[in-house]
Amino acid sequence: MKIVAHRGCWSAAAQKNSPGAFERALRGGFGIETDLRDAGGEVVISHDMPRGGEMTLDAFLALCARHPGGRPLALNIKADGLQAKVAAALAAHRIDDAFVFDMALPDALGYLAQATPAYTRLSEYESAPAFLAQAAGIWLDAFHGEWYPAQLVADWLARDKPVCIVSPELHRRPHLALWQGLRAAGLQRHAGLSLCTDFPSAAKEYFSEPD
């Protein structure tokens, strides 16, 4: 299983999506989830509407290219029409283990058309994921509680469909029960599984413990 640091490795909310948080995540060998928007003709790293001074996607990918062990990169698309710029930036920095997700369906079709790896969403509100056949993987979310059994994750992985699970603390819920269920099912041994978490170091330690 791969550990994906949600907006980098941070200890205070103000550090999220910052260069320092990304550097710490990459040095720890973690993947990174981050947010993309457009501002002033550039693609920038920003969860909310940009205010100016945000790190550019180009600078982010340049940093990631210096740490090839920090993968995958999960790029949360917060604005429409970024397909060409995102594809060009990934190609320029030779990043081949990244995927986009969370964009609107019409916008997703543009990423699929240019062969940018895109994950579809599966949640209690999205029981029939869009563009599943073409998707590079599944972003598995649970807003109100873990509605899915571990066997469902295992079934997707058995079909060679990678899965990235949103850890419950991203929705302000306790995470340990889910982590225990994943380990009890042996899913942490599957290379196709990722866990997006606010606690990447704790997850790395927990899932590397002997069964």
Mean pLDDT of 43-72: 96
What is the distance between the alpha carbons of residues 86 and 43, in angstroms, rounded to a whole number?
8
What pLDDT score does 84 carry? 97
Position 211 scores a pLDDT of 67
Residue 210 pLDDT level (bands cut at 50, 70, 90): confident
CB 167 within 8 A of CB 203: yes
Residue with tokens 């790190």: 55
List pLDDT tens digits, range 69-126.
999 999 999 999 999 999 999 999 999 999 999 999 999 999 999 999 999 999 999 9
Please say if the pLDDT value at position 22 is more than 80: yes
Q: Which domain range does residue 7 map to?
A: 2-208
Q: What is the CATH classification number for the domain harbouring 48?
A: 3.20.20.190
For the chain, the domain total comes to: 1
Q: Using the predicted structure, report yes or no on whether residue 12 has a pLDDT greater than 70.
A: yes
Residue 209 has pLDDT above 90, yes or no: no
Query: Mean pLDDT of all residues in the chain?
Result: 96
CB-CB contact of 118 with 100 (8 Å) = yes
pTM of the full predicted structure?
Answer: 0.96
The pLDDT score that the predictor gives to residue 13 is: 94
Mean pLDDT value across residues 18-28: 97
Q: Note the pLDDT tens digit of each residue in 110-148.
A: 999 999 999 999 999 999 999 999 999 999 999 999 999
